[in-house]
């Protein structure tokens, strides 16, 4: 496929994805849930049967909790369904849905769930997350509905970096809630849902195992701060696939303690790209391995595929593969930044998270000329090693002037001819 054809294909994906994220909030209650959701085994628990009103204004939290507790404690059936029915719009305040459950539980969201509208409507003691699922093994969260975090008033807090002059922040409370947080759970699947305008991360997994996220859409403005699409931390055996993400931070971010993560067929942008990190903040240790990102498109984004670590950390990032990725007008298509800093006054430190064994293969497309197409900024004390580039072709999005890649203490090789050439890579391993 020619480069022009790939661009056309990328924009086709973008147009296709845009049709999946146009949910409007209907504040009028609907007459009844769809009877097709009921079955003869009486294992479907409709939140409206527990008193939920679904008018987008009435607090339906108690009804959701009652329906959850009943479904979770059901015995004598292989599975139970907690139904959020189509055409209703439910206001749910911050709450925790706890396990373990006595049966496999499916949260079927076909209607709309909205959060309280901004910090003044939020319980003072529950600022870090909105909907948390704790120790629920075998959980499926699926459906055709929308989870709307109504984040605008959170983004407008004076502490947020986009509110001050030149990215400066102002004093004041700054905690913002994650929309969906899944904690200490295994065999978890999220499929088919749309997420919109979270105050902070849209979906976060902590200390989880065997996770699948499939066919979701996530949408927030490009200017919305810290609205990562999917974030994982201390989580392993993860599949993220077939999804469309547009937001104000990373489409997917991978934190410390993650391994065996497979990300594929993601359309990402506008955003900050797909990132490993940031790692090593506050001199912490971070170990990340066996991460693959394949068959994806990143467009109109500040970054493409990125590894970012703070100075002073420790640990190792290794066995990373970025393959078959199309970049469209991306400012930093390929980036390793071991000097990551959110201010301009981070102190130099000698310790660092080591980065080794990273493959970039069949990465093609266009870059924004404001930054080099490839940036390998590695630690003075712990250089990056075994960086390999294969079939990498990156051209300016506008004009004909090529920018040279940037390398600092980066050891690796070009397996094939790359465009532009990465002649700044050091060929010999340190000490050889």
Q: What is the pLDDT of residue 24?
A: 42
Q: In the block, which residue shows the tokens 């959020």?
A: 84
Please give the pLDDT value at position 171: 59
* Closest CA relative to residue 419, chosen from 344, 378, 362: 362
For the question of residue 272 being annotated catalytic, the response is yes
Separation between Cα atoms, residue 243 and residue 264, nearest integer Å? 9
Q: What is the mean pLDDT of residues 10-29?
A: 39
What is the DSSP code (8-state) at residue 36?
A: G
* Three-class DSSP category at 424: coil
Q: Is the peptide bond before 335 cis (omega within 30 degrees of 0)?
A: no
Average pLDDT over residues 205-220: 98
Q: What is the phi-psi region of residue 179: left when phi exceeds 0, alpha when psi lies from -120 to 50, beta otherwise?
A: alpha
Written as one string, the DSSP assignment of 381-410 is: SS-EEEEEEEEEEEEESSSSPPPPPEEESE
Which has the closest alpha carbon to 201: 258, 137, 272?
272
Count the Cβ atoms, other than its own, within 10 Å of residue 344: 7
Pairing of strands 140-142, 186-191: parallel
Share of the chain above pLDDT 90, in %: 78
Q: How many CA atoms lie within 13 A of 28 on its CB side?
A: 2
Q: Are 389 and 424 in contact (CB under 8 A)?
A: no
Q: How far apart are CA 126 and CA 69, in angstroms?
A: 20
Name the helix (H) or strand (E) containing 152.
helix 152-155
Relative to beta strand 217-219, strand 203-206 is unpaired
Peptide bond into 53 cis (omega under 30): no
Percent of residues, the chain, with pLDDT higher than 70? 86
The Cα 235–Cα 243 span in angstroms is: 19
pLDDT score for 198: 98
Block residue for tokens 């987008």 = 56
User: Which residues are registered as beta bridge partners of 191?
Assistant: 142, 214
Whether 214 and 242 have beta carbons less than 8 Å apart is answered as yes
Taking the C-alpha atoms of residue 396 and residue 393, their distance in angstroms, rounded to an integer, is 10
Residue 3: what pLDDT?
Answer: 43
Mean pLDDT lowest among 37-41, 103-107, 146-150, 406-410: 37-41
Strand ranges across the sheet with 406-408: 95-98, 129-134, 178-183, 203-206, 230-233, 252-254, 274-279, 303-309, 332-337, 374-377, 406-408
What does the mean pLDDT of the chain come to? Answer: 89
Residue in 236, 272, 282, 375 annotated catalytic: 272
At residue 256 the predicted structure's pLDDT band, cuts being 50, 70 and 90, is very high
- Is pLDDT at 368 greater than 90 in this prediction? yes
Tell me the backbone φ, ψ of residue 166, rounded to 5 degrees: 55, 40
Contact (Cβ atoms closer than 8 angstroms) between residue 84 and residue 60: no
Nearest by Cα to 67 from 33, 44, 36: 44
pLDDT at 5: 39
């Amino acid at each position: 496929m020619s480069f022009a054809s790939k661009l056309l294909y990328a924009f086709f994906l973008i147009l296709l994805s845009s049709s999946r994220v146009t949910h409007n909030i209907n504040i009028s209650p609907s007459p009844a849930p769809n009877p097709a959701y009921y079955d003869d085994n009486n294992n479907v628990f409709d939140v409206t049967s527990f008193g939920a009103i679904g008018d987008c204004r009435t607090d339906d939290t108690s009804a959701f909790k009652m329906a959850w507790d009943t479904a979770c404690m059901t015995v004598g059936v292989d599975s139970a369904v907690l139904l959020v029915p189509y055409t209703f719009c439910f206001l749910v305040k911050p709450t925790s849905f706890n396990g373990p459950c006595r049966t496999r539980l499916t949260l079927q969201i076909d209607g709309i769930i909205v959060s309280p509208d901004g910090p003044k409507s939020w319980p003072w003691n529950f600022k870090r997350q909105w909907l948390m699922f704790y120790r629920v093994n075998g959980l499926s969260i699926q459906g055709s509905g929308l989870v709307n975090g109504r984040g605008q008033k959170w983004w407008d807090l004076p502490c947020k970096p986009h509110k001050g002059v030149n990215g400066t922040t102002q004093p004041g409370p700054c905690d913002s809630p994650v929309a969906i947080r899944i904690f200490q759970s295994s065999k978890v699947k999220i499929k088919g849902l749309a997420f919109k305008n979270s105050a902070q991360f849209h979906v976060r997994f902590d200390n989880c195992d065997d996770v699948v996220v499939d066919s979701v859409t996530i949408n927030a403005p490009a200017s919305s701060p810290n609205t990562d699409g999917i974030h994982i931390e201390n989580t392993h055996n993860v599949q993220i696939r077939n999804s469309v993400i547009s937001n104000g931070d990373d489409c997917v971010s991978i934190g410390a303690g993650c391994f065996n993560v497979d990300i594929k067929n993601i359309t990402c942008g506008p955003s900050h790209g797909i990132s490993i990190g940031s790692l090593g903040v506050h001199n912490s240790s971070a170990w990340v391995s066996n991460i693959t990102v394949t068959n994806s498109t990143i467009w109109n984004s500040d970054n493409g595929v990125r590894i970012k670590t703070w100075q002073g950390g420790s640990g190792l990032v290794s066995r990373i593969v970025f393959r078959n990725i199309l970049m469209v007008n991306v400012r930093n298509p390929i980036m390793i930044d071991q000097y990551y800093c959110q201010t301009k006054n981070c102190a130099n430190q000698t310790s660092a998270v080591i980065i080794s064994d990273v493959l970039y293969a069949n990465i093609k497309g266009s870059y924004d000329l404001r930054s080099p197409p490839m940036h390998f900024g590695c630690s003075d004390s712990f250089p990056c090693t075994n960086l390999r580039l294969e079939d990498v072709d990156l051209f300016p999005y506008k004009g004909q002037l090529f920018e040279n890649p940037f390398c600092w203490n980066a050891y690796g090789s070009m397996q094939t001819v790359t465009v532009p050439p990465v002649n700044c890579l050091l060929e010999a391993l340190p000490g050889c």
